[in-house]
Amino acid sequence: MQIGIIGCGKISDAYFNGGKHAENLNIKACADLNFEAAQAKATEHGCEAVSIEDLLNDSEIELVVNLTIPRAHVEVGTQILEAGKHAYAEKPLAERLDEADKLMAVAAKTGKRIGSAPDTFLFGHSQTARKLIDDNWIGTPTSGTAFMRCAGHESWHPSPNFYYDLGGGPLLDMGPYYITSLVNLLGPVKSVIARTNRARDERIATAEGIKGQRIPVKIDTHTTGVLEFANGALITMIMSFDTHRSAPENLTINGTHGSLNIGDPNNYNTPPKVFCPGQADWMDAPTTHPDNARMIGVVDMVDAIQNDRPHRASGELAYHVLEVMEAFDVSSKSGSAVEMKTAPERPAALPLGLREWTADSSL
Ligand SMILES: NC(=O)c1ccc[n+]([C@@H]2O[C@H](COP(=O)([O-])OP(=O)(O)OC[C@H]3O[C@@H](n4cnc5c(N)ncnc54)[C@H](O)[C@@H]3O)[C@@H](O)[C@H]2O)c1
């Protein structure tokens, strides 16, 4: 399938690189509000730089990957769908649920699909964790922790303002990795009770090129809460940009027979570990699925479109994750638990026996 990319910033390299491995898609063209950014990526990765309008009018392109900033996700997604193409976007699906509603309505009207990052839950270590849970290695999941604690992104990102603006913050930035992984492992969230605050109203950038730049903080930068899953599990969550020294990323699930440590659901750079009573220490689980990297969600979506099956990194999943994240703010303000209105099915586990960068129909 011929695909296009809109948004040629920092994360786009991961997608261009993933596209070189994928067998079922070809990145034909890329575009950006800033045409020079598109030209630079087109030269580096070997595709055509075009205007956004030309990309949307290209009848050969069937799916567009939207890698713009969160503020533009719905606007650009709407343009893609209305141009008659499937839309896959970086996370979050939208800054707010009411915006996401509009995007979902356009998809329903045009009959085109919405896909959304993160696709990290399709990486080998995450699918291994899913298999361990499904095969009952830890028994019935009852509790767990989802912690991401760092000092913020102004020390490395070349244009970090959006992380501190409406639609930014640690929860909308990093929460999708943790919550999507958890929904993949445990099923949908039933309710959320949470509190949020912020340590500072202004940040000073320390990244090369923007050192000393003042960044106004318009959102809460420390969020903490409890996710009650429909299966009864209670997950304690902290997403914070207010930790001076970063702590190891942590996603852990405790079950009736054992515990599962999944590490960092953004990168999955360590294999999942299992601990059951009687063992001396954590045991690394043998990985059951190939590694993969960002873009595997698009590979799966293309395979799903071509074979008329649901894709895994779906708009419905991303919508539920956004509903959970928005509930943190609502619960913090009201002091009450917030019940979720949506309850998507867990995406199907990836089958065993796949090669890297392939999906179901390659078996
Ligand atoms: N940087 C990372 O490490 C990282 C990792 C994972 C996910 N993401 C996500 O990827 C997305 C992009 O992040 P980034 O870090 O690449 O941002 P960035 O600021 O580096 O790049 C965004 C690009 O989108 C373009 N753009 C903005 N609005 C546009 C519009 N309306 N139409 C066309 N182009 C537009 C900008 O000109 C810019 O080139 C965000 O949703 C972010 O959450 C980023």
Atom 9, ligand 1: residue with shortest CA distance: 90
User: Would you place residue 249 in the very low, low, confident or very high pLDDT band (cuts 50, 70, 90)?
Assistant: confident
Asked: is 122-284 a CATH 3.30.360.10 domain? The reply is: yes
DSSP assignment string, 299-311: HHHHHHHHTTS--
Q: How far is CA 305 from CA 6, 41, 62, 71, in A?
A: 20, 27, 10, 27
Q: Taking a C-beta distance cutoff of 8 angstroms, is the pair 97, 323 a contact?
A: yes
* Ligand 1 atom at minimal distance to the Cα of residue 92: 41
Please work out whether the CB of residue 8 comes within 6 Å of at least one atom of ligand 1: yes
Give the residue extent of every domain in the chain.
2-120+294-314+343-362, 122-284
pLDDT in tens, 24-54: 999 999 999 999 999 999 999 999 999 999 9
* Ligand 1 atom at minimal distance to the Cα of residue 91: 41
CA of 33 to the centre of ligand 1 (A): 11
- Token duo for residue 57: 């009018």
Please work out whether the CB of residue 64 comes within 6 Å of at least one atom of ligand 1: no
Please work out whether the CB of residue 145 comes within 6 Å of at least one atom of ligand 1: no
CA of 217 to the centre of ligand 1 (A): 19
Atom 21, ligand 1: residue with shortest CA distance: 9
Atom 2, ligand 1: residue with shortest CA distance: 11
pLDDT at 269: 79
Question: How large a percentage of the chain has pLDDT more than 90?
Answer: 96
Please work out whether the CB of residue 33 comes within 6 Å of at least one atom of ligand 1: yes
What's the count of helices (H) and strands (E) in the chain, helices before strands?
A: 9, 17
Mean pLDDT of the chain: 96
Nearest partner of 67 among 52, 47, 53, judged by Cα:
52
| pLDDT at position 157 over 80 | yes
Mutation choice for ligand 1 from 35, 52, 67, 150, CB with most ligand atoms inside 8 A: 67
pLDDT in tens, 206-236: 999 999 999 999 999 999 999 999 999 999 9
Residues 6+ apart with CB under 8 A from 196: 171, 220, 222, 223, 224, 328, 329, 332
CA of 278 to the centre of ligand 1 (A): 47
| pLDDT at position 241 over 90 | yes
CA of 291 to the centre of ligand 1 (A): 24
Please work out whether the CB of residue 95 comes within 6 Å of at least one atom of ligand 1: no
Please work out whether the CB of residue 174 comes within 6 Å of at least one atom of ligand 1: no
Whole-angstrom distance, CA of residue 185 vs CA of residue 201 = 36
Whole-angstrom distance, CA of residue 202 vs CA of residue 194 = 24
Please work out whether the CB of residue 206 comes within 6 Å of at least one atom of ligand 1: no
pLDDT in tens, 67-116: 999 999 999 999 999 999 999 999 999 999 999 999 999 999 999 999 99
User: Would you place residue 197 in the very low, low, confident or very high pLDDT band (cuts 50, 70, 90)?
Assistant: very high
Work out the angle at residue 261's Cα, subtended by the Cα atoms of residues 257 and 266, and round it to the nearest 5 degrees: 145
> Sign of the C-alpha dihedral, residues 304, 117, 330, 185?
positive
Average pLDDT over residues 113-121: 98
pLDDT at 246: 82
Please work out whether the CB of residue 237 comes within 6 Å of at least one atom of ligand 1: no
Looking at the domain that runs over 2-120+294-314+343-362, which CATH code has it been given?
A: 3.40.50.720
Please work out whether the CB of residue 306 comes within 6 Å of at least one atom of ligand 1: no
User: Would you place residue 155 in the very low, low, confident or very high pLDDT band (cuts 50, 70, 90)?
Assistant: very high
Nearest partner of 61 among 76, 46, 83, judged by Cα:
83
Rounded to the nearest angstrom, the gap between the alpha carbon of residue 103 and the centroid of all alpha carbons in its chain is 17
Please work out whether the CB of residue 69 comes within 6 Å of at least one atom of ligand 1: yes
